[in-house]
Chains A and B, each alone.
Chain A
Amino acid sequence: MADLVLTDQNFKQEVLDSKTPVLVDFWAEWCMPCRIVSPIVEDLAKDYGEKLKVGKLNVDENGQTAQSYGIMSIPSLLVFKDGQVVKQMVGAQSKDNFKREIDSVL
């Protein structure tokens, strides 16, 4: 599910209205640490399977959504549950770290 591309247009439907929790990877083309995190996010998508929806949002193309969640550093990974942000993780971290943080809110 990591190939889910989120946009300003589909964000409400795919993330806010989602029945399952959603992990959103805020990224941009020019951000090196984002390229480090990207394969980790794909791994996480595989590991969590049905339990977690995983999507990527390009902050350059979807400034409105990025701004409304106060994104000022990328990569930022946010977990949404019932339309609310329940976890925000900033910067490149190990997969285990991300897992621990995600598990704490699932």
Chain B
Amino acid sequence: MYDVIIIGSGPSGLTAAIYNTRADLKTLVISGVKWGGQLMLTTAVENFPGFPEGIQGPDLMANMRKQAERFGAKFIDDDVTSLDASSRPFKVSVGDKIYEGKSVIIATGADTMWLNVPGEQEKIGRGVSSCAPCDAAFFRNKNVIVVGGGDSAMEEADVLSKFASSVRLLHRRDTFKASEIMQKRVLENEKITVIWNSEIEEVLGDQKVEKVKIKSKGTDNKRLRVHKPKAEGNDLLSVEELSGNILKENGEELEWEMPIDGIFVAIGHMPNSKIFKGIETDEKGFIKAGENYATNVEGIFVAGDVYDHEYKQAITAAGYGCAAALEVQKWLREQE
């Protein structure tokens, strides 16, 4: 029997583990097959305080894990299959093994959201990817698209520009929501062309990604709104100049296609809350919590991106993990 079972091992889960083991709670971290969370799929993290030169995401996570292990946290690198929240102690299943905990912190984070367009799913690993740092090297001297407008899309585009011969950054709006510094990096990159107001409709190709069908809005006389590499402001560009061809035209809307070798999807993340029966979520799947980071089930707490739909930063996730751990300690004392 554990005092607390932490499900997940990103910044929130590992911070919770550090705080709980230091409070002498018997702590089990069920870290998941892909332990370490989203930062394992990044390169340099430049906004985590304490690392003036930045730190590689995977190194940061390995350090946090070592720190938790040093204080006695136990780890299981496998995925939780279910949580029985109907009675105490809570029962957490991993395949056919069951672990019992007096309390639980759900810190399962969020996973890549895919585009959900025809042709996408079957080409994951065959040109469709969500991890530029993992796969960029396969696109040396090739042409790729990145989809998205936030910080992670900017990072993907930047990483890919070191390998690919051209990067087209496709965004459905005409401005980015990424931080200024990341936007600047992209707009000043000599290989990245931003294509505004555009969405992928279909991924085409036989065995691998070969072509992509795109719908663009707000076009001007069959020309797309773009930001050319290193340009001062926005420009108009014809589909032909991007080696594409027009399929359909409808006022200020164009349907067109272009040959492409790779598509990197960075449009956001979906909270990993599906397996938790009986735990209340909002309509998007984020787990709801009161002011003490308590879920609707007494004794079950939440931390990190599975709860946070607002900030989604490594440092806020760590902060939530700390808060949830302190609330667990308080709650366990009250039970005695």
Contacts and interface: CB of A to CB of B under 8 A. Distances in A.
Interface stretch (B98-106, B132-140, B213-221, B279-287): B132-140
Contacts, number: 60
A76 interface: yes
Interface residues of A, number: 23
Nearest to A67: B138
A31 B137 CA distance: 10
Contacts of A33: 34, 40-41, 131, 134
Interface size class of B (residues with CB under 8 A): 20 to 34
A10 interface: no
Interface in A52-106: 59-60, 70-74, 76, 88, 90-97
A81 B159 CA distance: 36
Q: Which secondary structure dominates where chain A touches chain B?
A: loop
A31 B262 contact: no
Interface string B244-263: 00000000000000000010
25 contacts: A28-B137, A32-B41, A32-B58, A33-B34, A33-B134, A36-B33, A36-B35, A59-B137, A60-B137, A70-B208, A72-B126, A72-B129, A72-B135, A73-B125, A73-B126, A73-B129, A73-B131, A73-B135, A88-B125, A90-B124, A90-B125, A91-B125, A93-B33, A94-B78, A95-B78
Interface of B: 33-36, 40-41, 58, 77-79, 95, 124-127, 129, 131, 133-135, 137-139, 207-208, 262
Interface of A: 28, 30-33, 36, 59-60, 70-74, 76, 88, 90-97
